[in-house]
Amino acid sequence: MYVLHKNTKVYFSSIGTGSAVVLLHGFLENSSMWNSIAKTLSKKYKVICIDLLGHGKTENHGYIHTMEDQAEMIKTVLNHLRLRKYVLIGHSMGGYVALAFSLLFPLNVKGLCLMNSTALPDSEEKKLHRDRAIEAVKQSPKTFVRIAIPMLFSETNREQLKIAIEKVTEEALKIKPHGIIAALEGMKIRKDQTSIYKTANFPIQLIIGKQDSALDYNSLIQQTSNTKVEVVEFPDGHMSHLENKNELIETLTSFIKTCY
């Protein structure tokens, strides 16, 4: 299904009935990453999956897609569906968007799950890494995607999950370079959102992959210390929905229950 947000065509799907759960994909992904998880969750809940700006079947909106731009687009979709309360689950960049949404529209949020994500902004080193990535995309988007995707999996899973990695890569190759760059620019300037861990009036869960090369394990643990955030650790990499699928479904099901 499609809805217009500021003259930009946005793709989303909605399955199941009951309390609402919103699934937000990560960078170089699209809403299809949630297919099997959405199918399971939709047995008890209304599950909404949305293609973020410049990803999947959603059009590009500008030269920079800030996390706030993405959050406002999400709100347009959820308003269109006449939903007032929902649990947000965001993978990686989807977590950054869910954080921005939770700070913009806290009264609508019943719970927030950050999956392989962080509330910290980019460090100066990470910003340089984003700039290098932007240059790499400009030179050869296909090469960038083919190198970037396998690195998101733990080293031990790269051979084992070869077919899954090929499928993720195939989907990522459909994204226009403009969309990749706009997302990189948006992630680079995102704000420090760690204050939400102490101020939120709803449950928060942080899912960590212990071998996640995209995030710093110690900083994830540190940012949640002395807070009520539930931290769940999986043994593998950045792609928990593929590397630790069964445990993830169990974890998400349990978390959603505590929110409703």
- Whole-number Å distance between alpha carbons of 133 and 135: 5
Q: Average pLDDT in the 216-238 region? A: 96
| CA 192 to mean position of chain CA atoms | 17
Tens-place pLDDT, residues 196-223:
999 999 999 999 999 999 999 999 999 9
* Phi, psi (rounded to 5 degrees) for 244: -140, 45
At 199 the pLDDT is 95
Q: What is the CATH number of the domain that holds 102?
A: 3.40.50.1820
Give the separation between CA 243 and CA 236, rounded to whole angstroms.
Answer: 6
pLDDT, tens only, 79-134:
999 999 999 999 999 999 999 999 999 999 999 999 999 999 999 999 999 999 99
- Rounded mean pLDDT of 136-161? 97
Task: Give the pLDDT of residue 52.
Answer: 98
Q: Which of 23, 3, 27 is nearest to 186 (CA)?
A: 27
Q: What residue numbers bound the domain in which 33 lies?
A: 2-259
List the one residue out of 234, 228, 231 whose CA is nearest residue 248.
Answer: 234
The rounded mean pLDDT for the chain is: 97
How many separate domains does the chain show?
Answer: 1
Across 152-167, average pLDDT: 96
Predicted local distance difference test score (pLDDT) of residue 65: 98
pLDDT band at 172 (very low <50, low <70, confident <90, very high): very high
